[in-house]
Structure formats: structure tokens, C-alpha cells
Chain A
Amino acid sequence: MSNINIDAIKNQTYDAIVIGSGISGGWAAKELTGKGLRTLVLERGREVKHVVDYPTTLMQPWEFEHHNRIKKEVKDANPIVSKCYAFYEGTEQFFVKDAEHPYVQEKPFDWIRGYQTGGKSLLWARQTQRWSEYDFQGPARDGFAVDWPIRYADLAPWYSYVEKFAGISGNKDNLASLPDGEFLAPHELNCVEKYFKEQVAKNYKDRHIITGRCAHLTSPKQVHYDQGRAQCQSRTICERGCPYGGYFSSNSSTLPWAAKTGKLTLRPHSVVHSIIYDEKKGKATGVRVIDANTKQMMEFYARIIFVNAAALNSNLVLLNSTSHRFPNGLGNDSGVLGKYVAFHNYTATIDAEYEGFLGSTTDGRKPNSAYIPRFRNVEKQETDFLRGYAAGFSAGHYQHDDRSGLGEDLKKALLKPEYNNVWNVGSHMMGETIPKESNYVALDSSKLDPWGIPQLKISVDYDDNDRKMVKDFFEQLTEMYTKAGFKNIRTNDSHRTPGLDIHEMGGARMGKDPKTSILNKWNAIHSCKNVFVTDGAAMTSTSTQNPSLTYMAMTARSADYAVKEMRKGNL
């Protein structure tokens, strides 16, 4: 018997385990296998293979039964995910349905999830900006959260490393508030975006309009062809999965790369229950997994474990990993696990019209927009709220058709669309929110999910700082628009609940002091050093950048450290 047990344990043993196959888990898989580690990637959802499992990617608009609208019964059954901008007939197969994966909303929170190989990397909006030194210094300077244990210099080489592989399009703008990266060719600003850039440059010395930086292969290099990816074709239907691998996803890039090493085992339908902590060894030895289909529990073992289940689910896994040593969750000596969750505030938009460039328009499509880096409180505190916001900006000269008639008149009008006599412009705010103890996630042991795991209870809300920031965004953008001669300016606060930003972060934050943080400067748990958390859960503060690029860089840096420590015999 004992021999059989030993064999079984051997078969279930790897050098490394990665929990989750999304944007950061894919990177962990690539880095660890690339350094020769036999790596098990556990994905709770089904397998989605690049191209072959993108059923709608080549469908023409008329081939969708409901022209991309969601059926009423689907909408009624899924009120949460139905609010997501990217959820439509062509993408619904990639989103978690509300009822299948319940959670508790102590306060309203629209939790958008993608349970499949690649996770939400199939669905993301692909904007990728580096953090700057100002961002890492934020909490220390402004006295909130805790000081980041790393600075821009720690991450800069890793940004370069992941950018070169992922393929990031952008322009070198030479801004201290938004460091340049290793860019492929930038997307062009259109007539009015360029005009606005010039106007803003004329009127403000510290405000800039730049072209967005995004994970699209605008001018692919050999390393991208080697991944089997090709030039972005400007289809702008990215969320359906891209047959060219034109944008970065785990499915198109890191996972197949990891598989080529022969060191990767990807196990779908594997819901991680908890991390196994060995009291004698004083470290984690593996994970407990529930097979999503058979609901059977099994164990896998490894020397190091990367937690990349997506921010809130990584919190759930740690909270549920209890032991004699860690009765309140793995690494939770400080009691801060699950707390100081923050996100980005996307409630505010501002639209307007411009009467210039009426003889011009755009040609083709752009999976990107212009971007306004944070200009508030960058060098010093200057407003009645903390931190600031970045913003997207885009302009379009659209056509309209006169739909007022009936019969032949209507038909003629429909077939002769006319350009509007204005350009439409719009901007959306991406505000930094301040992590607070009162914004938290916890386990609700009275409610179990279908796999017998306590449901996650989410209690996250806006505060006065967010409201003041929205007001300022409206005032500042109105001024910038007015100075540029834009007319008919309209502000809109959607008051939507947190979650729809899909930028939830924190809960297992990094910090210097084990008394006030969970992770150290290498993303390892202070008190369990062979467990690394390198997704959104690790974020000490949120700044204003779209976060995925930072997760990628952190993951590569952390994996490099972990393997070096293993080789030194420290892990």
C-alpha cells in the first residue's frame, strides 16, 4: 500500500504549481517552464484552445441569430454579467454566468469573471501602460495604504522584458508620469484627436494627449511570429478571440510557448480549494483541488506555488487555506488578508462635438484610442482629493442615415448615409481609488458554492474622494474641451456599481512590514515564502493605469527570483 501511495504522490508532484491560466498565470507558466521547471497549471474552467475554440471569431454580422444581442432569457438569468460592455452574442461563451458561480454582495458589486484557459486575457481591453515612480511613491507620499516595497526601477527591466514578448504598440512620449516602453509602431491619432492634442499642449504645460498603448501587434517581430502570431488586422472584434493572435492573450502567446518546452501540464476543470501548509516544514507543499466535474478532491504537490486566480479569487484561495499555523488564512498573521481592496472608478464620461475637419474622416478601424495620462496631484498634492485620474479619449466622424421615412424614401435614405455635420468626441475617466480597510472580501461559511467552498463575500464601495474626483474630471475636461472649441459638452455619471471596471485589486497587498501586509517585495507571502501571489491581489494601491501589464512584469520578476532561490536551496 505504502508504495502505491508514494507512486501516487510522485505522479502528483511537480516543481511548480500555478493557480490560474489568465494573464498573470500564463506568464508564470511561461517563465517557470522556460527555466526548466515541470509546471502544473490549474484552470478552474474549461479548456479554450487558441483559434479552434473561438467559435464566433469568423462570423459575419448577419450570421448572428440576434445580430449580437443577448437573448432575454440569458439576460434575465444573468443580470450581473449582462451589464458588462463586452458581453454579447458573440462573446457570451467566455463569461461566467451569474447562477453557476454565486457570491455574496454585502454591497453591490458586479463581479465579471472568465473561467477558461486564458481567463479574461481573451476578453480584456488590451490597454497597457507602465506605472511611473510617482505611482509607486503614492501611498507613502499621501499617507494611505502602506508604502510599496518596490519602486519603478525594480520593475522597469521586467516591463521591458514582458513588453518585447507580448508586443505593445505605443509612441515614445517622453513623459515622467507615464514611462515609455519597448514599443511596436503606434496607432495614429485621427484628425480631431491630433487637433485636441495640439490644443491641450498649447493651453497646458502639464497635460498631454497621447496615442493609447496597447497589446496589439502593429509591427510584429520575429519573437511574435515564433509564437505563431501575426499582425493585428484592425478587426476590432477582439473579445471573440483573434485568429491571428493580433492581440496578446495567454491562449495565443504564453501558454503555447510554455507547452513547447514540454514542461507544462495544463489541467482544466480544476477548482483550487486551498493551499496545503506543512506545519513541520514551515512552508506550503501543494494544493487541494476539486475536480469541477466529478467534485472529487485531490492533491498536487510542488516546491513553489504561484497564485494567479485573479484578484478576488486569489484572496478566496488564501482565505480558505487554513491550518493550525494560519487559522485565518495563509499568511494572514496581520489580519489584513482580504482587506484594502480597491479598483478603478469608471463612472464618469464626457462627450462633446467639434465642427472642424468636416471634409475628413478615418479609414479602417483602430482597436485603440487616445489616452490622457494623469495630470492631477502628480508632482505634489494640489486638489481637495487624493491622487487622480487618467482618461481615454476618442473622436469619430460618423455617418447617419435618415430613418424618418417609410417605403422607397426610407430605402433611399438608408442606402445613402451622410456624414454628420460634427465630429463626436468622448472621454472616460479612470480614477484611482484609495484602498481602505472597510473595502474588503471575506469568506461566507454559511453559503457554499457548488464545489463546497465558502462563497466570497464582497463589500466594496465608493467614497467621498471618488465623488470629488468625478467632479474635478468633469470640470477639467469641460475646460479642456471648451478651450479646444468643442461644443455641446455633456457630462454623464453612470453611478454604476464597482466591479464593472474589471480592475479589482488588492486584498493580499505587498508591503515592507509583515504586520501590515501579506506579500514581500518579491510577491512572496512574508510568512510562507514559497507561495507567490502575482496577480491583482498583490496591489498595494491602484494608480490609474490599466493594471495587466504590471501583473505581467511582476510575475516575470517574481518567477525569476523564485527559481534563483530554489537553485540556491532556499525554497
Chain B
Amino acid sequence: MQRRSAIKNLALTIGGTIVLPTWANAWSKETLQNHSLSITSSQETLLAEIVATIIPKTDTPGAKELGADKFILRMIADCYDKKSQDIFAKGLISVDELAKKENGKTFVENDSKQRLEVLKKMSTSQNSDEKGFLHLVKGLTIDGYLVSEYVMTNLRIYEMVPGRYHGCVPIKK
């Protein structure tokens, strides 16, 4: 555990040098336009704030800093069917509507506490599209976050090449 916190601290000191994978850097509106997904630049900003609310920046980067929003767009465009893409597109509109209804301002204009409340409301919504949107985006945010280089090399260490197998070892606390 000491090793982990040491790495964590090291990562913090180098703070701004998070490197996104090439696919995330190469991502652009142009590449996305090949797909059926249509999304405005303000909705891109909105999505970034949604993932930042789901997994916020604390003493370590949050989902937005790790490019989870870009990952989500990529996944929705490439791996999901029309129905899920529609739920996604509609959901982005619903988030703002709900934010305005609750707090009188768009989601991006809400403060972080208000944003969290809006998403919590959506997660328990009677409207299956709203609930479905949050379920979809939250799942992909977690995936984008956990399978990011930063988390996999600093926080939840992934060993590409373990070079060993031990069948029965005590769990380290």
C-alpha cells in the first residue's frame, strides 16, 4: 500500500501531464461525423460536465480529466444500436431540462451540488429513457475511468505481464 500512495503522490506532483491514448487525442468532430450520432459542441461540454459530476476531480483526476467523455462518444457512435443512441441524444436534452426545472439554470450553469442532485434524480426517474440515459452514461464513465492509463497505472494497478501465478496467498489488508 505504501508503494501505491508513493506512486499516487508522484502522479499528483506531475499533475498536469496526464497523457490520453492516441485514439482520444485523434478524436475530432470530423471522425465522429461518419456516424449517425449528431451532437453539438455545447452538448460536448455538457457531457464533459456530466462525467465530471459522476466521477469528480478530487486529489486525483476525475473522469473528465481522463477523457471519459470522449470515450463515451466513441463508444455510443461505434458500439451501440440506434435505440441506445437515441436514448443518449434525448438524455442530453433531458439533463438540461431537468436542471432548469430544478434550479432555473442549465446543467453547466448549476453548481456541483445541484448537478449531483440532478443526476441522482435522473437515476431514480420514472421515465425509463431518463433512467436509461443515466445508466448508460454512468456505466461508460466508470469504464472510461477505470480503464484509463492513469487509474490503471497509479490507482488500481494493472499488471500486463505478471510472470507468475500463486494459487493461494493471504489477502493483504
Contact = CB atoms under 8 A, between A and B. Distances in A.
Interface of A: 60-63, 65-67, 69-73, 187-191, 193-194, 231, 233-235, 357, 359-366, 397, 403, 406-408, 410-411, 414-415, 417, 419
A66 B152 contact: no
Given A190-B167, A234-B165, A408-B56, A61 B155 contact: no
A62 B161 contact: no
Given A72-B79, A194-B167, A362-B167, A407 B116 contact: yes
A467 B162 CA distance: 41
Contacts of A365: 162, 165
Nearest to B150: A62
B119 interface: yes
Contacts of A67: 71, 75, 143, 147
B81 interface: yes
A98 B119 CA distance: 42
A66 B27 CA distance: 13
Given A194-B168, A406-B123, A66 B74 contact: yes
B142 A362 contact: no
Interface string B134-173: 0000100011011111001001101111111111111100
B166 A235 contact: no
Given A193-B167, A357-B168, A411 B74 contact: no
B167 A66 contact: no
Interface of B: 21-23, 53-56, 58, 62, 71, 74-75, 78-81, 116, 119-120, 123, 138, 142-143, 145-149, 152, 155-156, 158-171
A527 to B, nearest CB: 51
8 contacts: A66-B79, A71-B79, A188-B166, A188-B168, A357-B168, A397-B171, A411-B58, A414-B55
A419 B171 contact: yes
Contact of B62 (A194, A361, A406, A411): A411
A501 B71 CA distance: 34
- 6 nearest CB pairs, A to B: A190-B167, A191-B168, A188-B167, A364-B164, A364-B162, A364-B165
Contacts of A190: 167-168
B138 A406 contact: yes
B81 A72 contact: yes
Contact of A234 (B74, B152, B163): B163
Given A65-B23, A72-B80, A361-B171, 18 more contacts: A60-B152, A61-B147, A62-B21, A63-B21, A63-B22, A67-B143, A70-B79, A73-B78, A194-B167, A234-B165, A235-B162, A363-B166, A363-B169, A364-B164, A364-B165, A406-B119, A407-B54, A410-B55
Given A65-B23, A234-B165, A364-B163, A403 B142 contact: yes
A407 B156 CA distance: 18
Contacts, number: 122
A410 B54 contact: yes
Given A62-B149, A66-B79, A71-B79, A362 B165 contact: yes
Interface centre among A70, A414, A417 (most CB of B within 10 A): A414
Given A63-B21, A67-B147, A415-B155, A235 B168 contact: no
Contacts of B71: 67
Contacts of A72: 78-81
A417 B147 contact: no
Nearest to B139: A403
Given A411-B55, A415-B155, A417-B156, A233 B169 contact: no
Given A60-B149, A359-B171, A410-B54, A66 B163 contact: no
B78 A71 contact: yes
Contacts of B78: 65-66, 71-73
Given A67-B143, A411-B62, A406 B54 contact: yes
A366 B149 CA distance: 23
A360 B168 contact: yes
B161 A235 contact: yes
Nearest to A412: B58
Contacts of A408: 56, 58
Nearest to B20: A62
A242 B37 CA distance: 37
Contacts of A366: 165, 167
A188 B165 contact: yes
Contact of B145 (A193, A414, A419): A414
A287 to B, nearest CB: 42
Given A71-B79, A235-B160, A414 B142 contact: yes
Contacts of B152: 60-62
A61 B166 CA distance: 23
A71 B34 CA distance: 14
